[in-house]
């Protein structure tokens, strides 16, 4: 059974930073994709970033235009954890952030991710 767990959300002032972490246990292969999505009230869930790797090496990352240059996704092989470093946060980044995973490639569509975490709230005050 695959379990996805996010951590690291919180309240921060505009211009500040937060780091989100995500682990996925129960995957039967070490080659899979992990995506970060966010959803604010009344909006659709949107991809923030995704990362894929093969044999422990990151082979591809992607970002939404709204976060390029501010957010960085990476994988800690030793901890089998994916992190999303969020810098220069803006009030419009306020949302619930979800980590999702699947056996596949980066995709902006939530439908292409099979396993989801419960989400962690990020609130950026102005």
Burial of residue 12, with CB atoms counted within 10 A of its CB: 0-12 exposed, 13-18 middle, 19 or more buried: middle
Helix (H) or strand (E) holding 78: none
> What confidence tens digit (pLDDT) does each residue in 58-100 have?
789 999 999 999 999 998 877 788 999 999 999 999 999 999 9
Report pLDDT for 77.
Answer: 75
At 27, the pLDDT band (50, 70, 90 cuts) reads confident
| Mean confidence (pLDDT) of the chain | 93
């Amino acid at each position: 059974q695959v379990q996805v767990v996010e951590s690291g959300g919180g309240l921060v002032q505009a211009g500040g930073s937060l780091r989100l972490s995500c682990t996925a246990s129960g995957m039967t292969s070490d080659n899979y994709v992990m995506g970060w999505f966010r959803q604010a009230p009344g909006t659709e869930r949107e991809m923030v970033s995704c990362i894929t790797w093969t044999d422990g090496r990151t082979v591809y990352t992607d970002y939404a235009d709204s976060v390029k240059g501010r957010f960085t996704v990476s994988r800690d092989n030793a901890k089998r954890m994916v992190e999303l470093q969020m810098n220069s946060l803006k009030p419009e980044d306020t949302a619930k952030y979800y980590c999702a995973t699947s056996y596949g490639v980066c995709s902006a569509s939530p439908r292409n991710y099979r396993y989801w975490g419960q989400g962690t709230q990020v609130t950026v005050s102005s």
